[in-house]
Amino acid sequence: MSADSANNLATKLALAPRAVALNPKLPPYNAKGDGVTDDTAALQAWLTAGGAQLTDGTYRIVRGLTLAGNNRELYTDHAKILADGANITALTVTGNNANIRAYIDGNRRAALGLRVTGAGAVIENGLYENFRSATQFARGIEATTTGGIIVRNNVIRSVVSVGDKTLGNGNGSSRGIALSAGAAATASSVISGNRIENITGEEGDAIHVIFFDGKANPFNAGKVTVSDNVIRNVSRRFIKIQASNVNVERNTLNFDLTTPPAYPGPAINVIRSQYVKVIGNRINPNLIGVDVAVTGFSTALLRGIEIRDNVLRQKNNKAVTHIYVKWANSPIIVNNSIYGGGQAVLIVSSTTPRVSGNTHSPYR
């Protein structure tokens, strides 16, 4: 039995019998699943009744769906949700401890695939693709919670927010996975093993973590591990961290676009966040900016910054700083293998840095 088949069987066995028995194609729901009929009302009624296993079909919706209640599950089996409404959020999950394994296609019309607002969700083994907006932000998966979430082994691809040439205003903000909260985390989160591709538009970041109550400097604690993700092609950053107490580990960052983006940023960008470790990542040649950038604030030097055991590669003709640290207290930058580019390590406005064991060689 293949790994996928084993996962499918395990999921089916775990679902409550009543949830499995609810078939959205049968009365009283009468969904068609033909990819043409508007199945919005049918699917919403089915979800409200407790439906969990969506099988065999393409279910077209023109308005967003809501999965409410604690301990809910949604599992697509040879099925997908085709979100065919302009700028809609395909699925919003509001309860705690949800488990989602879904295929959601935004059809280049929906702006957001999956939004989670409850604590303790597990989002795994899903496919989220083709989200686009010309007037607002776009997301593959968005979670807003202090209570922890696991986002693992998903594919997220083709997320575009076109933008209006004004940075930072939401329009133009594309994210593969976005995790945020308006306060410090009360539980840990994991973003791991995902494959994220082509997060473009004006400000395309593959993974963005921000925990901010509007006052904290540095940012509030996120308690997040971002690990073992494989990312290909972004228009601004691969990983953006605006939260303290975060580990960024063993991610592989690739880029094969031939045209530089309009607003390139650092590949891994840590902003006003302390106790952040950037360890064992592989950054391959790209057309964006600095490999790893950490910036604090002049009156609040960052503590607990560690950048080690990374492999950072740029073409020899790319005059870029590989590791840049500003406004940090005792940062550790050790045992990084650096190839090509310009300056290997640049530390400014910081106290007692530890820099050792790094190598810098031509790219070949």
- Give the model's confidence band at 169: pLDDT under 50 very low, under 70 low, under 90 confident, else very high: confident
Between CA 361 and CA 213 the distance in angstroms is 43
Residue 299 inside a domain? The answer is no
* pLDDT tens sequence across 76-111: 999 999 999 999 999 999 999 999 999 999 999 999
Residue 46 inside a domain? The answer is yes
- Using alpha carbons, select from 190, 181, 277, 248 the residue that is nearest to residue 221: 181
pLDDT (mean) for 53-63: 98
The values of phi and psi at residue 149, to 5°, are -155, 150
Residue 92 inside a domain? The answer is yes
DSSP secondary structure string, 48-81?
HTT--EEEEEEEEESS-EEE-STT-EEEEEEEEE
Domain with 92 in it: 1-110
pLDDT (mean) for 48-55: 98
For a pLDDT cut of 70, what percent of the chain falls above it? 94
Question: What's the structural domain count of the chain?
Answer: 1
Per-residue pLDDT, 170: 72
The values of phi and psi at residue 130, to 5°, are 70, 55
CA 101 → CA 8, 98, 163, 223, distances in Å? 10, 10, 30, 24
The one-character DSSP state at 82 is E
Per-residue pLDDT, 1: 47
The values of phi and psi at residue 18, to 5°, are -65, -40
Cβ-contact 154, 126 below 8 angstroms: yes
Residue 102 inside a domain? The answer is yes
Which of 161-170, 196-205, 313-322 has the lowest average pLDDT? 161-170
Query: Which amino acid is present at 265?
Result: G
Find all residues with CB under 8 Å of 207, minimum gap 6, and list them. Answer: 175, 176, 177, 178, 191, 196, 226, 229, 231, 238, 239, 240
Residue 254 inside a domain? The answer is no
- Parallel, antiparallel or unpaired: strands 189-192 and 221-227: parallel
Which of 10-19, 126-135, 156-165 has the lowest average pLDDT? 10-19
- Using alpha carbons, select from 65, 119, 67, 73 the residue that is nearest to residue 89: 65
Cβ-contact 187, 223 below 8 angstroms: yes
Residue 68 inside a domain? The answer is yes
Per-residue pLDDT, 331: 99
CA 245 → CA 96, 204, 221, 278, 347, distances in Å? 23, 24, 5, 11, 21
- Parallel, antiparallel or unpaired: strands 127-133 and 155-161: parallel
Residue 83 inside a domain? The answer is yes
Instruction: Find where tokens 């293949």 sit.
Output: 2
The one-character DSSP state at 3 is H
- Give the model's confidence band at 295: pLDDT under 50 very low, under 70 low, under 90 confident, else very high: very high
Per-residue pLDDT, 293: 99
* pLDDT tens sequence across 1-33: 455 545 554 555 555 555 557 999 999 999 999
Residue 17 inside a domain? The answer is yes
Between CA 222 and CA 102 the distance in angstroms is 26
- Give the model's confidence band at 172: pLDDT under 50 very low, under 70 low, under 90 confident, else very high: confident
Find all residues with CB under 8 Å of 265, minimum gap 6, and list them. Answer: 205, 236, 237, 240, 288, 289
The one-character DSSP state at 220 is P
Per-residue pLDDT, 83: 99
The values of phi and psi at residue 263, to 5°, are -130, 65
Q: Specify which residues 74 forms β-bridges with.
A: 100
Torsion, CA 260, CA 174, CA 83, CA 10, rounded to 10 = 100
* pLDDT tens sequence across 199-243: 999 999 999 999 999 999 999 999 999 999 999 999 999 999 999
